[in-house]
Amino acid sequence: MPVGYGYTILNFKLYLQMKKSVFLGALLLMATLVIPAVEAAGQEFVPVRGLCVAAPAHDDVGEFVALIDKELAPAGVNTLILRVDFGYRFTSRPELVGENPLEKQDVKSIVHACRKHGIRLIPQINLLGHQSWSTKPGKLLEVYPQFDETPKVAFPEEYKWPNPDGLYCKSYCPLHPEVHAVVFDLVDEITEVFEADAFHAGMDEVFYIAHPDCPRCQGHDPAVLFAGEVTKIQNHLGASGKELWIWGDRLIDGKTTGIGLWEGSYNHTHRAIDLIPKEVMICDWHYEQAHPTPVLFASKGLRVVACPWNKPEVGVAQVKMMNLLRENSSRVMKEKFAGMVHTYWSSARNFMDAMAGKTEKARQDPSMLTFRELIKSW
């Protein structure tokens, strides 16, 4: 199918679905009224009890496997998302191998440990967004600068936010004719070596999309572009029976909900929620309070997991919310509220040190403490 024709269909779908958006405010208000701060004692465990953490360095794999055996499995963790990105020794695209990469035997050790305990292992590579950090490009744009959505936006010598260019992280151009041949080689290889039936594509905090500097994307509807990329990745994975997971922030209207620029979208991608495939799993991250946005995703026919980070009270509130939503939903809707995934935004080394309480600072790690409270609640 020609690219232009596909995006015309998405635009038409967007037109048809926009009428439904009037229900969003009512749904979120209803969820707020229905979810009091009650104890979840006696309720069934949420199906997904997950952890998202950076993949360990090569030298730390043995200790990480021990963590799975001694801490994660006994805590009831049944889903482990490992942020790999370019930290694996890819053979399909050796030019994209990062520093201190995991070897195949390292991954197999982790696979074996997870399989032994019935833990679903899901690798993550950031697609679309997060293709740079601070003052330099990530590996993909370093090797393939032609994929840059914003080639005229230069990296500063000293990074500050906010800045005149609105530079947080760069994106690759989703309409570049060669980009998917490259990134899908990585996706295929990493899911194969991880023996995974799902893949996490990131796709959070995409601030650069449909940028006027991009000769291919300029003038396009950001929602249609975003939905087109999600659909393309889902279709690729679905062809081999795999599932796509993504972060949910770009699908939330940050202005209407008051959720803001980071946990919601200010650049009009939120309307993509009506265009993406229903098979996609949404990781709905909120760190300051337990926003009832799982209702939004579930009402659109999408499965959703709630994701805390570094505030124990928020994580516990999210568990209660998800349990109560499941308890008070129809059978069909109940399955949409899939569970919880804790996010740890530092290295696996720091997570292991925090779990072991190696230093006073490690023992006070707020994200680790949130995880400890979370596993008591689920």
pLDDT in tens, 207-228: 999 999 999 999 999 999 999 9
Q: Is the pLDDT of residue 199 over 60?
A: yes
Question: In this structure, are residues 365 and 347 in contact, taking their beta carbons and an 8 Å threshold?
Answer: no
Cα 229 to Cα 201, 292, 334, distances in angstroms:
11, 26, 28
Give domain 3-35+48-377's CATH architecture.
Alpha-Beta Barrel (3.20)
Q: In this structure, what are the phi and psi dihedrals at residue 247, rounded to the nearest 5 degrees?
A: -75, 150
Instruction: Calculate what percentage of the chain has a pLDDT beyond 90.
Output: 87
pLDDT at 45: 76
3-class state of residue 354 by DSSP: helix
- Confidence label for 69 from pLDDT (cuts 50, 70 and 90): very high
Q: Is the pLDDT of residue 110 over 60?
A: yes
Q: Which two tokens stand for residue 144?
A: 């393939």
SS (H, E, C) 263-314: CCECCCCHHHHHCCCCCCEEEEECCCCCCCCHHHHHHCCCEEEEECCCCHHH
- Element at 137 (helix H, strand E): strand 136-137
Of 122, 120, 90, nearest to 103 by C-alpha is 90
- Confidence label for 42 from pLDDT (cuts 50, 70 and 90): very low
Q: Which two tokens stand for residue 92?
A: 């399909």
26 by Cβ neighbours in 10 Å (0-12 / 13-18 / 19+) ranks as exposed
pLDDT at 23: 46
Question: In this structure, are residues 91 and 188 in contact, taking their beta carbons and an 8 Å threshold?
Answer: no
pLDDT at 378: 87
Output the average pLDDT for the chain: 92
244-288 pLDDT, tens digit per residue, is: 999 999 999 999 999 999 999 999 999 999 999 999 999 999 999
**pLDDT-wise least confident of 30-34, 120-124, 346-350:** 30-34
Question: What mean pLDDT is predicted for residues 286-292?
Answer: 98
121-140 pLDDT, tens digit per residue, is: 999 999 999 999 999 999 99
Q: Is the pLDDT of residue 365 over 80?
A: yes
Angle subtended by helix axes 23-34 and 312-327, to nearest 10 = 100
Q: Is the pLDDT of residue 57 over 90?
A: yes
Q: Is the pLDDT of residue 310 over 60?
A: yes
Any idea where the domains of the chain sit in the sequence?
A: 3-35+48-377
165-179 pLDDT, tens digit per residue, is: 999 999 999 999 999
> Pairing mode, if any, of strands 132-133 and 136-137?
antiparallel
